[in-house]
Amino acid sequence: MLDYLKKYYRDPLYRNSIAMMLNSVFAALFGLLFWIVAARTMSSKDIGLATAAISAAGVIVAFSRLGLDQGLVRYLPELKEKRGFYSTIVILTLALSLIIAGIFLIGINIFSPALSFIREGWFLPVFLAYIVITSIFSMQNMALIAIRRADLALIQNLLLGARILLLIFLTSLGVFGIFSAFGAAFLLTSIFGTLILQKNGLSITGSFDIASIRKTLKFSMGNYLAGIFLMAPLTIIPIMIVNTIGAEEGAYFYVAYSVAALLFMIPNAVSTSLFVEGSHSLPLKENVLKSIKMILMLLVPALIFIFLFGNKLLLLFSREYSVQAYEMLQLLSISSIFSAVISIFISIKKIQQEVRIINYLNFALSVLIIGFGYIALFKYGLVGLGYAWLGANAVVCAMIIGVMGKSFTIKK
């Protein structure tokens, strides 16, 4: 048994997949604990508004990346001068995130009137600081994955658990307290990430490696659109819910998704590890088969567990969440099966640098979830959004298997 485990640990695909899954597990567990504390000390309305504000910041940071986070993973292993490349990416994305944040704040009454409180008092500087910190953090995390040190990315994410302790002292501040706890925890992890990356030869300097950025731009910009489409549902939906059916419903969705994230982390971690291994020019077909095996081995038992005990798990938040969020949790959990197929296929196409097909798929998925979800919210409430989410993933999965699968081959 010990030799069997050592064999898995020695394999970079399995080792990094496990590290990234542990990363996601702890992130999900800390997230659950955080929202349990929030749910037991604050109103569902405050939680709904806070998750919408966090999602708004997430949209801004996602738009600022220009796909360079994926370019970092794909091309950093090939470059001799890594420091200048990393530094240029961090500075570019940070500057753009502040510009986009300014545009959002100026037009907030148009984009999301329910979040107009962000411009008031101390919330404004804290919101801007949060964007700066999370922008840096996201690139640090991808850099650690790119150099095949997902174990260090795991330690960095463990430090995010500090937000739970911080929230205990900030609950009286409501929405501002939730946001401040998140921001302070990200600051702590960013400091740790800076120190770790410096030891691995990566730091922010005054030099710019424009030549390397130009080399990666086509790939990065293609993945930029793909990343925006992929993130759009999760970042836009909480805001959409708050602006249509209420902040309380937004809280129910966010809690259900936080639990379902325990399932989504499995295909996400394994497919990301597949992308990293492919970027290091390792055998693709062999790693794809190992990735599928690993996903099935972990996802099926996890899905069964959620269906058997999901409602009891939601009781940790309160009986209100167990009643209101359980059906949404079930629908999101089923969608993880289709999400696994999509994730593996997209990683293959990233390695093969065929970003156009990635954009088509992610665009279709995003439009289907948001479009049908918006209509379903009005007609059937939160559960309608759940069916729209599940249906969209099933349709895109069918596109991959039924249409593209006929001529799809994995190049070695």
pLDDT value for 391: 93
Lowest mean pLDDT among 39-43, 105-109, 148-152, 233-237: 148-152
Q: Taking the complete model, does pTM exceed 0.75, yes or no?
A: no
pLDDT value for 320: 86
b or e along 82-116 (b: 16 or more beta carbons within 10 Å of the residue's beta carbon)? bbbbbbbbbbbbbebbeebbeebbeebeebbebbe
User: 31: which 2 tokens?
Assistant: 């997230």
Segments making up each domain of the chain, as ranges? 12-404
Specify burial of residue 206 (Cβ count, 10 A radius: 0-12, 13-18, 19+): exposed
**pLDDT range class, residue 377, cuts 50, 70, 90:** confident
User: 100: which 2 tokens?
Assistant: 């986009």
Task: Please give the single-letter amino acid code of residue 192.
Answer: F
* Residues 233 and 389: beta-carbon distance below 8 Å: yes
SS (H, E, C) 238-253: HHHHHHHCCHHHHHHH
* Residue 236 scores a pLDDT above 60: yes
pLDDT value for 412: 47
pLDDT value for 389: 92
pLDDT value for 82: 74
pLDDT tens profile 172-210: 888 888 888 888 888 888 888 888 887 877 777 766 767
pLDDT value for 387: 93
Q: What average pLDDT does this structure show over 75-102?
A: 81
How far is 49 from 59, CA to CA, in rounded Å? Answer: 15
pLDDT value for 283: 62
How far is 151 from 200, CA to CA, in rounded Å? Answer: 13
Lowest mean pLDDT among 96-110, 260-274, 304-318: 260-274
Percent of the chain having pLDDT more than 70?
Answer: 84
User: 329: which 2 tokens?
Assistant: 């949790």
Taking alpha carbons only, the member of 408, 357, 412, 353 closest to residue 73 is 353
* Residues 238 and 308: beta-carbon distance below 8 Å: no
234 or 346, which is more confident?
A: 346
* Residues 389 and 232: beta-carbon distance below 8 Å: no
pLDDT value for 330: 92
pLDDT value for 168: 83
How far is 297 from 123, CA to CA, in rounded Å? Answer: 45
pLDDT tens profile 106-160: 988 887 787 888 888 788 888 899 999 888 888 888 887 777 676 667 777 778 8
pLDDT value for 314: 87
Helix (H) or strand (E) holding 141: helix 123-146
* Residue 408 scores a pLDDT above 60: no
Alpha carbon separation from 234 to 188, 208, 273, 277 (Å, rounded): 25, 33, 22, 27
* DSSP string covering 49-108: HHHHHHHHHHHHHHHHTTTHHHHHHHHGGG-S-HHHHHHHHHHHHHHHHHHHHHHHHHTH
